[in-house]
Amino acid sequence: MLEPDKLSICCDAVRDWVNENYEASYIIGVGALSLASWALDPKKSKKRALGIFATALAVGAMLEPCVNVQSQVYGPVLSHGSRQKRCVALTFDDGPSEYTGSLLDVLAEEGAKATFFCLGEQALRYPELVRRAEAEGHLVGSHSYTHRNLLGRLPAASRRQIVTGAQALNDVLGHYPLWFRPPYGMRYPWTILQARQSGMSTVLWSNCPCDWTTPGAKVIMERIIRSFQPGDIILLHDGGGDRSQTVIAVRYLIRYLHRQGYKFVRVDELEPAE
């Protein structure tokens, strides 16, 4: 049996590979299931297995732009800034929560700006933290109202999540947000349109250390640095669970990148990608 630390390393490597090569992972998975179907009854199932494989690939091709954070097929999204400028955008999802104040303290102490994509229900629960974030120069955007996966929602339900999330921030701040991030980064073609009709542009990301898995502050920072590029929009979280590791990682990440000459900016301050 593998030792726990080696098992963790292997799991991280597999997860990272799947995340970075999800199209190949999907094709391999569908192919394996189709082959298994054919192997159970090779005389009768060959055509059926090929049909399943072709149909699944076609469906996957249509859904791929819904989950690809870089894809512009179903509407414009901001996933990173200029790769020629030493700027980086920290973004925090799922808050505010009891950890948001600590993150704001770190950002203030280290001289960094960030963007907070708040859930409407959480903004109503912690209005003072939303107001503090904006007062301290950070950007506040919407992350829907209750973090429902919009990929599984019909247009009317999707619109409700988008509109009520934005309304909650208006109730707290006195103005509507201009930026929106769909939960899990997943969207249908109409999702971006609905956000735009509510006055918001859509923001995704280019660097995701999966801090929600709570792998430790050191691992969170290492994952960010491993794939880091100038202009990255980094996906982190200040809500949805224990975010104490994220708070620690952010402090050391800011110090590390400051030493490399990087400036931490809000997403609306990123220069456009070339």
* Rounded average pLDDT over 53-82: 82
What mean pLDDT do residues 96-111 have? 98
Burial of 13 (0-12, 13-18, 19+ CB in 10 A): exposed
Q: Residues of the chain with pLDDT > 90: what percent? A: 69
What is the chain's mean pLDDT, rounded? 87
With a CB cutoff of 8 Å and minimum separation 6, the contacts of 98 are none
Which of the pair, 37 or 239, is modelled with greater confidence?
A: 239
Q: How far apart are CA 248 and CA 103, in angstroms?
A: 9
Pick 251 or 30 by higher pLDDT: 251
CATH number 3.20.20.370 is the correct assignment for the domain at 77-269? yes
The pLDDT tens digits for 205-221 are 999 999 999 999 999 99
Residue 165 and residue 201 in contact, taking contact as beta carbons nearer than 8 Å: no
Contact (CB, 8 A) for 65 and 94: no
User: Checking DSSP bridges between strand 77-78 and strand 139-142, what pairing results, if any?
Assistant: unpaired
Q: Say which of 93, 94, 211, 238 is annotated catalytic.
A: 93
pLDDT in tens, 70-82: 888 889 999 999 9
Question: What does the alpha-carbon distance between residue 59 and residue 151 come to, in Å, rounded to a whole number?
Answer: 14
C-alpha span between 205 and 185 (Å, rounded):
8
Measure the CA–CA gap between 124 and 126, rounded to whole angstroms: 6
In one-letter notation, the amino acid at residue 229 is Q
Does residue 65 register a pLDDT over 70? yes
Helix axes 155-173, 189-197, angle to 10 degrees: 30
pLDDT recorded at residue 1: 31
Give the pLDDT of residue 68.
85
pLDDT, tens digit (0-9, with 9 covering 90-100), for 133-182: 999 999 999 999 999 999 878 999 999 999 999 999 999 999 999 999 99
When mean pLDDT is compared across 7-16, 61-70, 128-137, 158-167, the lowest value belongs to 7-16
Residue 60 has pLDDT above 80, yes or no: no
Q: Where in the chain is the domain with CATH 3.20.20.370?
A: 77-269
| pLDDT of the residue at 55 | 72
* pLDDT: which is higher, 255 or 28: 255
The 3-state secondary structure of the chain, one letter per residue: CCCHHHHHHHHHHHHHHHHHCHHHHHHHHHHHHHHHHHHHCHHHHHHHHHHHHHHHHHHHHHHHHHHCCCCCCCCCEECECCCCCCEEEEEEECCCCCCHHHHHHHHHHHCCCEEEEECHHHHHHCHHHHHHHHHCCCEEEECCCCCCCHHHCCHHHHHHHHHHHHHHHHHHHCCCCCEECCHHHCCCHHHHHHHHHCCCEEECCCECCCHHHCCCHHHHHHHHHHCCCCCEEEEEECCCCCCHHHHHHHHHHHHHHHHCCCEECCHHHCCCCC
Q: Does pTM top 0.85 for this prediction?
A: no
Q: What angle do CA 18, 216, 9 make, to 5 degrees?
A: 40
**16 counts as catalytic:** no
Per-residue confidence band for 64, with pLDDT thresholds at 50, 70 and 90: confident
The predicted model gives 109-127 an average pLDDT of 98
**Sorting pLDDT into bands at 50, 70 and 90, what band is 46?**
low
**Which one is catalytic: 80, 94, 237, 238?**
237
Indicate if 94 belongs to the active site.
no
pLDDT (tens digit, 9 = 90+) per residue, 252-274?
999 999 999 999 999 999 999 87
Report the b/e string of 70-83 with b at 16+ CB within 10 A: eeeebbebbbbbee
